[in-house]
């Protein structure tokens, strides 16, 4: 089951390529015309809602400052040391167990999925 994702600027572009190769629909904030590098957390949240995408981020400020009613969903990695390969594997495993329609609000994710 493919996920619709928006990767925050703190994630490597390699994650986008890896997830796309697994069939996911992925945008990276750096390459979305209306966002781009330096987009605010509120702009990301709005885009998430409008485009029906889950945000993938390491940004704890986002989690603390943006309320869950402002975005569709966030896959938050508390450990910013998780590699691109691991992020890809974790998100893909989640997609195998939870349909995208069920992924809402803040989801704290990490190596426990590996």
User: Residue 80's pLDDT is what?
Assistant: 81
| Per-residue pLDDT at 36 exceeds 80 | no
| CB neighbour class for 37 (10 Å; exposed up to 12, middle 13-18, buried from 19) | exposed
pLDDT value for 63: 82
HSE toward the beta carbon, residue 50, CA cutoff 13 A: 8
Taking the CB of residue 80, how many other CB atoms lie within 10 A of it?
11
Joined tokens for residue 28: 């990276």
Tokens of 1: 């089951």
Question: For the whole model, what pTM was predicted?
Answer: 0.92
Say which residues have a Cβ less than 8 Å from residue 77's Cβ, sequence separation at least 6: 56, 57, 58, 87, 90, 109, 110
Q: What is the residue-averaged pLDDT of the chain?
A: 91
Q: Given a cut of 90, is residue 1 above it in pLDDT?
A: no
**What whole-number percentage of the chain has pLDDT above 70?**
100
Question: For the domain bounded by 4-113, which CATH number is listed?
Answer: 3.40.50
Please give the pLDDT value at position 57: 93
pLDDT (tens digit per residue) in 78-107: 888 899 999 999 999 999 999 999 999 999
Pairwise CA distance, residues 77 & 31, whole Å: 21
């Amino acid at each position: 089951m493919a996920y619709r994702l928006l990767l925050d600027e703190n994630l490597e572009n390699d994650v986008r390529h890896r997830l796309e190769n697994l069939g996911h629909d992925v945008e990276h904030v750096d390459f979305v015309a209306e966002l781009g590098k330096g987009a605010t957390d509120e702009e990301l949240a709005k885009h998430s809602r409008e485009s029906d995408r889950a945000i993938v981020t390491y940004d704890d400020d986002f989690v603390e400052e943006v309320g869950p009613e402002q975005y569709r969903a966030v896959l938050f990695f508390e450990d910013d040391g998780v590699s691109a390969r691991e992020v890809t594997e974790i998100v893909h495993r989640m997609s195998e167990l939870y349909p995208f329609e069920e992924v809402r609000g803040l989801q704290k994710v990490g190596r426990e999925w590996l």
